[in-house]
Amino acid sequence: MSEEVIIARESENLTGTVRASGAKNSALKLMAASLLGQGKSTIRNVPLISDIYIMGRVLEALDAQVTREDHVLTIDTTAVERYETPYELVSKMRASISVLGPLIGRFGCAHVAMPGGCQIGARRIDMHLVGLEQLGVHFEIDHGFLIATTPNGLHGGNITLEFPSVGATENTMMAAVTAEGRTTIDNAACEPEIEDLALMLNEMGAQIEGAGSSSITIEGVPLSALHPCDHATVGDRIEAGTFLVGGALLGGPVTVEGINPSYLRMALMKLRAMGCIVEEGEQSVTVRRDGPLRAVDIQTLPHPGFPTDLQAQFMLLASLAEGNSVITENVFENRFMFASELVRMGADVTIDDHHALVRGVKRLQGAPVVSTDLRAGGALVLAGMAAEGETIVRKISHIDRGYEDYVGKLTSLGGNVERTVVDDI
């Protein structure tokens, strides 16, 4: 059998300018939110990635019409009368659970298959359900489906999340926009993608305040008060961070445009601590490095802490730094699966529960490796460009889920990478 792979070869440097695509983790939720608009909404700056295609199919299964022209999506939800999502689509991508909130907000009920996606942790949806139950939603699980009903209608509530979960915050917020009365979400997620979703919902006629902080207030409006809108997706801070790590790894300078530097505040702080020179513009960041990489300790935390989605990329940097680094993963329990692939390339990483001790080495060596998840795949390609010889990265479908034209963008910066089909390895 043959398989599509990415081959990364030792590269002298990455240098130049690349533009961040629209944020995957925002665009997917904006697509779900279009269900509340009951008409034809336009979403701009949407990345060309496989997860967007899958979410489009989820919406089409609900009888929405989804059309695409380059980076612009038009979603017409006028004819949507279904509220059941098919397992064969939802099982491919966890983000599809984000249709739960808007379906409840529109119909007062939903039948949503239990989600799938990257195998980087349990990521239970309990918190989604707890928040929604405070709004009057009743849940049952039947043969792999979540059955949501609102026997007494949707009503406002005071919700305190056990953990600032992005998905729970988004689903609760989207359902609450049509709930009668006021809803408060305390210990809410503060990610920029939450702000982007709230902005689009407000453009549709919702009344949301405080998004981007730990306390969000939603004044419910009638469903009839919501309407379609035209909205542009915020830039992808994780994609931007990945390219900036590439610049730090090989020297740069690499400039990423289309990203608000404040979205990467903690990551940029760590790049500086590792010996990089970081320059921030209004909507751009440039990274270069003249001296050796320095060891650094990192703890992943919800925003504005260090993002778990950049942990693998920074583990790569730490593996080539002078000294020992400790990386603590506080968000996803299985995210260190990437470490075993990096060790195959000569890295010195020891895992102890949710801590990784990374001892810097002089060089990495090219090797056959496997993408264990989306961000690990992106990091392994970077590792291959910093390693001696050739690295073959398999299971690149993970990379396609979140990076638009990854090979093309790296090539434009001078990376020695190619996408090709090989016989079974």
Q: Per the structure block, which two tokens stand in for 215?
A: 């306390």
Residue 92 is assigned to a ligand binding site: no
Please name which of 356, 262, 278 lies closest in space to residue 311, comparing C-alpha atoms: 356
Residue 187 is assigned to a ligand binding site: no
Q: Which residues are catalytic?
A: 118
In sequence order, the 6+-apart residues with CB closer than 8 A to the CB of 88 are: none
Residue 309 is assigned to a ligand binding site: yes
Question: What is the sign, positive or negative, of the torsion defined by CA atoms of 416, 278, 261, 215?
Answer: positive
**What is the spatial order of strands in the sheet that 368-370 belongs to?**
368-370, 390-394, 2-9, 417-423
103 sits in which H/E element: helix 100-107
Q: Per the structure block, which two tokens stand in for 297?
A: 């300790």
Residue 25 is assigned to a ligand binding site: yes
153: helix, strand or coil: coil
**What is the spatial order of strands in the sheet that 277-280 belongs to?**
16-19, 254-257, 284-288, 277-280
Residue 334 is assigned to a ligand binding site: no
Please name which of 255, 268, 224 lies closest in space to residue 413, comparing C-alpha atoms: 255
Amino acid in position 329: E
Backbone angles phi, psi at 406, to 5 degrees: -60, -45
The secondary structure of 121-137 as a DSSP string is: ----SHHHHHHHHTTT-
Detail the residues annotated as belonging to a binding site for UDP-N-acetyl-alpha-D-glucosamine: 94, 309, 331
What are the binding residues for phosphoenolpyruvate? 24-25
Task: Could you list the residues known to form a binding site, using ranges.
Answer: 24-25, 94, 309, 331
